[in-house]
A and B are shown apart, each in its own frame.
Chain A
């Protein structure tokens, strides 16, 4: 049984079909990039994985659990914007990943001190320790996204969902963020789903690249049919999965000739 299992999922708002017949199974630790034109249900699919929405038909299960009905700690998420809490300092944003799960949302005494120490260690690792006391608004876009990713990971989710996380960053920062994400994945392997507009980014980071598109199209009723996964690329080894395989040469036969 695979780690994330999507079985025959359809999503429809009223008469508008967004996605249809989506089937997917993902191994634990895989990095899945999701690409496609605007309005092709990429973000809808991510919301279904997040359990923010329930599919009209079919079901999504993560780590063998029954389909979730609302977002929970098994799912970490980073959006393009508004992913960190503006009223909490950088350190408190990380601590929030531990304290929000408690009954009143606050940690006290020794537990708070431990959580703060862990948060400081995390911040040192991602290079944000010098701004630990600042508020997110004082951070650059790249730093905010780094903070958002670290915050999501502090809650130890089973899957990490990234909704165009680097879409609002400039190209240089974007490359830095790719390296940052790759490093984090090397340290603790995790299952990631990333929606992106950038094909190169999708292939660079992903183990698999899923393309969402509408296979059926009625020009008189553009909303009648939804999008589905039309391509499922193996993106390892730069998107050329078999080039490292050597052709087996039948040596004895060759020698005879």
Chain B
């Protein structure tokens, strides 16, 4: 039997899916033990038990000076920045994408401009953003918007253009104005794509968020990682990285669930 025709059964599928995770965990444990055997003071690969210990402490214990549990505080600050950044970028890209895709005049005006803007490396703008918008929340949100909106806009405009011409003509013969075509024909059909774009942009958004927090911030997940780096607190860094990964995964999962519930017509095939 050819390899391309070989499909794993249910149990095997679960085992196969778990395999890479188990392998990484195992490799880490072995590496950690080898290092700790040579030098019990080693800080680079803390033992899994130490990690668990640190995890419990970071999730539950309050900092003595401020009385706040830093992890939750950092999570709140980072999620606020991330979600407002991606949310604003999504709204912006939706409006621009519709306008560029539907109106030839706006397409002529904006499409090249957006294409050029999307080529600007956002991180290179970070100093400018800090100078203009200060070191507070605004500059970080703006960085995420600048980093994700142009790509989302280009993609969405392209999707609008890909809607069959027949549908646009048909809507016109039913008496629809440009506004009605935008609201009732095009918008509902690109919304699923907007959710996909948000899911894809979240990865980049995390990147910009952590970069901005690392450079200048007083709170946030990225800030904390770069702060404890000075003390070589690998256990805390690892916990934060795992936590960020989990958050990113949950956000992605939530958006996918939303998309599946909201756009039943996409899966209406026979």
Structural contact, A100 and B176, CB atoms closer than 8 A:
yes
In the complex, B183 has a CB within 8 A of chain A = yes
Question: Binary interface profile of A, 59-89, with partner B (CB < 8 Å = 1, else 0)?
Answer: 0000000000011110111010111111111
Structural contact, B176 and A101, CB atoms closer than 8 A:
yes
> Hey, which chain B residues are within 8 Å of A249, CB to CB?
none
User: How many angstroms between the C-alpha atoms of A89 and B164 in the bound complex?
Assistant: 18
Question: Binary interface profile of B, 147-181, with partner A (CB < 8 Å = 1, else 0)?
Answer: 00000000000000000101101111111110110
Contacting residue for B174 out of A87, A96, A135, A136, CB 8 A = A96
> Hey, which chain A residues are within 8 Å of B179, CB to CB?
103-105
Q: Take A103-B177, A155-B175 as given contacts and tell me if A85 and B167 are in contact as well, using a CB distance cutoff of 8 Å.
A: yes
In the complex, B58 has a CB within 8 A of chain A = no
In the complex, B269 has a CB within 8 A of chain A = yes
Structural contact, B268 and A135, CB atoms closer than 8 A:
yes
> Hey, which chain B residues are within 8 Å of A82, CB to CB?
164, 166-167, 170
In the complex, B124 has a CB within 8 A of chain A = no
In the complex, B21 has a CB within 8 A of chain A = no
User: How many angstroms between the C-alpha atoms of A96 and B189 in the bound complex?
Assistant: 15
In the complex, B203 has a CB within 8 A of chain A = no
Contacting residue for B183 out of A71, A84, A85, A104, CB 8 A = A104
User: How many angstroms between the C-alpha atoms of A106 and B269 in the bound complex?
Assistant: 26
Question: Binary interface profile of A, 109-135, with partner B (CB < 8 Å = 1, else 0)?
Answer: 000000000000000000000000011
User: How many angstroms between the C-alpha atoms of A102 and B171 in the bound complex?
Assistant: 12
Contacting residue for A85 out of B173, B175, B185, CB 8 A = B185
In the complex, A50 has a CB within 8 A of chain B = yes
In the complex, B188 has a CB within 8 A of chain A = yes
User: How many angstroms between the C-alpha atoms of A221 and B241 in the bound complex?
Assistant: 68
Structural contact, A81 and B265, CB atoms closer than 8 A:
no
Contacting residue for A138 out of B173, B176, B185, B269, CB 8 A = B269
Chain A CB count within 10 A is highest, among B173, B184, B185, B269, for B173
> Hey, which chain A residues are within 8 Å of B169, CB to CB?
50, 52, 71, 77, 79
Structural contact, A70 and B172, CB atoms closer than 8 A:
yes
Q: Take A85-B185, A155-B174 as given contacts and tell me if A100 and B269 are in contact as well, using a CB distance cutoff of 8 Å.
A: no
Contacting residue for B268 out of A77, A81, A104, A134, CB 8 A = A134
User: How many angstroms between the C-alpha atoms of A152 and B265 in the bound complex?
Assistant: 21
Structural contact, A72 and B175, CB atoms closer than 8 A:
yes
User: How many angstroms between the C-alpha atoms of A73 and B171 in the bound complex?
Assistant: 9
Structural contact, A105 and B183, CB atoms closer than 8 A:
yes
Number of contacting residues on B, CB 8 A? Answer: 25
> Hey, which chain B residues are within 8 Å of A76, CB to CB?
173
Structural contact, A87 and B166, CB atoms closer than 8 A:
no
> Hey, which chain B residues are within 8 Å of A52, CB to CB?
169
In the complex, A157 has a CB within 8 A of chain B = yes
> Hey, which chain B residues are within 8 Å of A168, CB to CB?
none
Q: Take A137-B265, A138-B269 as given contacts and tell me if A87 and B173 are in contact as well, using a CB distance cutoff of 8 Å.
A: no
User: How many angstroms between the C-alpha atoms of A89 and B265 in the bound complex?
Assistant: 8
In the complex, B270 has a CB within 8 A of chain A = yes
> Hey, which chain B residues are within 8 Å of A84, CB to CB?
170
Shortest C-beta distance, B5 to chain A (Å), equals 29
Structural contact, B172 and A105, CB atoms closer than 8 A:
no
User: How many angstroms between the C-alpha atoms of A200 and B205 in the bound complex?
Assistant: 60
Q: Take A72-B172, A77-B170 as given contacts and tell me if A100 and B180 are in contact as well, using a CB distance cutoff of 8 Å.
A: yes
In the complex, A22 has a CB within 8 A of chain B = no
In the complex, B264 has a CB within 8 A of chain A = yes
Shortest C-beta distance, B118 to chain A (Å), equals 28
In the complex, A162 has a CB within 8 A of chain B = no
Q: Take A137-B268, A138-B268 as given contacts and tell me if A155 and B167 are in contact as well, using a CB distance cutoff of 8 Å.
A: no
Structural contact, B270 and A75, CB atoms closer than 8 A:
no
- Residue in chain A with minimal CB distance to B176: A100
Residues facing B in A199-251 (CB within 8 A) are none
Shortest C-beta distance, B233 to chain A (Å), equals 51
- Residue in chain A with minimal CB distance to B164: A82
Contacting residue for B172 out of A71, A103, A137, A138, CB 8 A = A71
In the complex, A97 has a CB within 8 A of chain B = yes
User: How many angstroms between the C-alpha atoms of A96 and B185 in the bound complex?
Assistant: 10
Structural contact, B174 and A101, CB atoms closer than 8 A:
yes
Contacts from B to A (Cβ < 8 Å): 164, 166-167, 169-177, 179-180, 183-185, 188-189, 263-265, 268-270
Contacts from A to B (Cβ < 8 Å): 50, 52, 70-73, 75-77, 79, 81-89, 96-97, 99-106, 134-138, 151-152, 155, 157
17 A-B pairs with C-beta separation under 8 A: A73-B175, A76-B173, A79-B166, A83-B166, A83-B167, A87-B263, A100-B171, A100-B180, A101-B175, A101-B176, A103-B177, A104-B180, A105-B179, A135-B264, A135-B268, A137-B269, A151-B170
Given known contacts A81-B166, A96-B184, A100-B184, what 10 new A-B pairs fall within 8 Å (CB)?
A70-B172, A72-B172, A82-B170, A83-B166, A83-B167, A85-B185, A100-B180, A105-B180, A138-B269, A151-B174
